[in-house]
């Protein structure tokens, strides 16, 4: 079996990291992989030992020439299946190119935001099957009119091994300019409005006198960085909040957090939550999208209503005051990653979809 993977992300954020897992797992299973990705994408280096990497310009939704570039690759390499893993134009132009050349095509859907009726009507007709990374996303697609038989949930996965070693607490505090006994709330997310940083900043502003050792470390980058820095400065909490940027060495530090907060307005699943669970960190997240599938309320963390700063403050207070509860939730999260979010399970799920598509299209595996 030969699979052409199309991933438009330049950084190893959640989606691209999942593609790296899939490609490595498929390679180990004897599947031939080709990866089309942007020029200078971090994914290229990550998968070079497991796939033929074909870097090409990918300029987003307006880059209609991407259709011709992908069509040329498909014609030259004749994959059994094209698997489009991302949006930003790839989901339209990749599907069109595959359909034009009569090659089966699969789409991974990683976000739960609704789409317009005309997009749903025409885009998903390009695909033989859609893989949703959570039941929440699958349900959104079905409500929008995609037939149930064409959507399968295959949840994202985490390799727990990089998160297993204990964190050097002194080095962690020095690296992020924290007091040695700080209570550290982390948020690992792109700096964009829907991730809910502003709710966390408001909650911390209200709690800083109750918990003078409270600190926040924001991992990630994004278009809203200047706005968020201004928010922090306006509140006068710049001595409490650290902007750490994108860290390729995130697994080295994640276990140093006291709590991971993810008060997002919407989320497909939340890979950063799975990473935190693998590191044994309890989680506070919004009861939105696929987040309840990543966090078991009262077991591995606490769920709160989206946008509810009061509930966020209460959840933070509960965990900050109860180290035994934090430890129990952290241990439960670690165990759940091993059982429910393993890479092997995700690989088997993707292969099952490929085999189903090939059987329906050609009567073969």
- Range(s) for CATH 3.40.50.2000 in the chain? 2-157+342-362, 161-340
Residues of the chain where predicted confidence (pLDDT) is lower than 70: 364-365
**Among the listed residues 258, 195, 259, the one whose alpha carbon sits nearest the alpha carbon of residue 221:** 195
Residue 190: strand, helix, or coil: coil
Query: Which pLDDT score is estimated for 365?
Result: 56
Task: Give me the CATH code for the 2-157+342-362 domain, please.
Answer: 3.40.50.2000
The CA-based angle 310-312-314, given to 5 degrees, is: 70
Give the number of residues written for the chain: 365
CA distance 58 to 37: 8
Burial (CB count within 10 angstroms: exposed 0-12, middle 13-18, buried 19+), residue 294: buried
At 29, list the tokens: 């299973």
Q: State the CATH architecture for 161-340.
A: 3-Layer(aba) Sandwich (3.40)
Give the dihedral of Cα atoms 132, 362, 29, 3; nearest 10 deg: -70
195 DSSP assignment: G
The predicted pLDDT at position 34 comes to: 98
Structure tokens at 359: 């059987």
Show the tokens assigned to 170: 């002194």
Locate 147 and state its tokens. Answer: 């037939």
Cβ neighbours for 46, distance < 8 A, ≥ 6 positions apart: 12, 16, 20
Which residue do the tokens 């965990």 mark?
319
Give the per-residue pLDDT at 112. 82
- Cα–chain-centroid distance for residue 7? 13
Paired with 34 in beta bridges are: 4, 52
CA distances 128 to 18, 29, 230, Å, are 21, 23, 46
Question: DSSP readout, 4-37?
Answer: EEE---SS-SHHHHHHHHHHHHHHHTT-EEEEEE
Rg over CA atoms, the chain: 21
pLDDT digits (tens, 9 = 90+) for 156-209: 999 999 999 999 999 999 999 999 999 999 999 999 999 999 999 999 999 999
CA distances (Å), 206 to each of 118, 200, 238, in order?
44, 10, 14
Q: Are the C-beta atoms of residues 138 and 112 closer than 8 Å to each other?
A: no
Count, in order, helices (H) and strands (E) of the chain. Answer: 15, 13
Give the closest residue to 98 by CA, choosing from 119, 77, 116, 120. 77
Decide: 237 and 204 in contact? Cβ < 8 Å.
yes
Nearest-10 crossing angle of helices 309-320, 197-207 = 60
DSSP string, 212-232: TTEEEEEE---TTHHHHHHHH
């Amino acid at each position: 079996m030969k699979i052409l993977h199309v991933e438009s992300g330049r950084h190893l954020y959640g989606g691209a990291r999942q593609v790296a897992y899939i490609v490595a797992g498929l390679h180990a299973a004897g599947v031939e992989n080709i990866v089309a990705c942007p020029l200078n994408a971090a994914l290229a280096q990550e998968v070079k030992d497991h796939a033929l990497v074909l870097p090409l310009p990918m300029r987003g939704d307006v880059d209609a020439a991407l259709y011709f570039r992908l069509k040329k690759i498909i014609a030259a390499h004749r994959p059994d299946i094209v698997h489009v893993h991302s949006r930003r134009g790839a989901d339209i132009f990749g599907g069109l190119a595959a359909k034009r050349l009569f090659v089966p095509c699969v789409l991974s859907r990683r976000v739960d935001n609704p789409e317009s009726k005309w997009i749903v009507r025409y885009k998903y007709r390009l695909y033989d099957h859609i893989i949703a990374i959570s039941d929440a996303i699958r349900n959104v697609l079905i409500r929008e009119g995609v037939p149930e038989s064409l959507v399968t949930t295959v949840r994202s996965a985490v390799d727990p091994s990089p998160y297993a070693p204990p964190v050097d607490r002194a080095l962690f505090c020095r690296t992020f300019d924290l007091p040695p006994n700080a209570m550290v709330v982390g948020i690992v997310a792109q700096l964009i409005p829907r991730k809910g940083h502003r709710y966390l900043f408001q909650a911390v502003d209200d709690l800083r006198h109750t918990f003078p050792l409270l600190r926040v470390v924001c991992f990630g980058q994004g278009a809203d960085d200047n706005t968020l820095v201004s928010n922090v400065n306006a509140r006068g909490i710049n001595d409490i909040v650290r902007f750490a940027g994108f860290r390729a060495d995130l697994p080295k530090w994640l276990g140093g957090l006291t709590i991971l907060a993810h008060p997002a307005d919407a989320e497909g699943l939340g890979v950063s939550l799975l990473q935190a669970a693998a590191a044994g960190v309890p989680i506070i997240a919004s009861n939105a999208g696929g987040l309840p599938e990543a966090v078991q309320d009262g077991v591995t963390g606490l769920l709160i209503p989206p946008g509810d700063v009061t509930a966020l403050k209460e959840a933070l207070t509960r965990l900050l005051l109860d180290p035994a509860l934090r430890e129990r939730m952290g241990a439960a999260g670690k165990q759940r990653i091993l059982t429910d979010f393993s890479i092997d399970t995700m690989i088997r799920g993707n292969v099952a979809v490929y085999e189903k598509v090939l059987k329906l299209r050609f009567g073969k595996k």
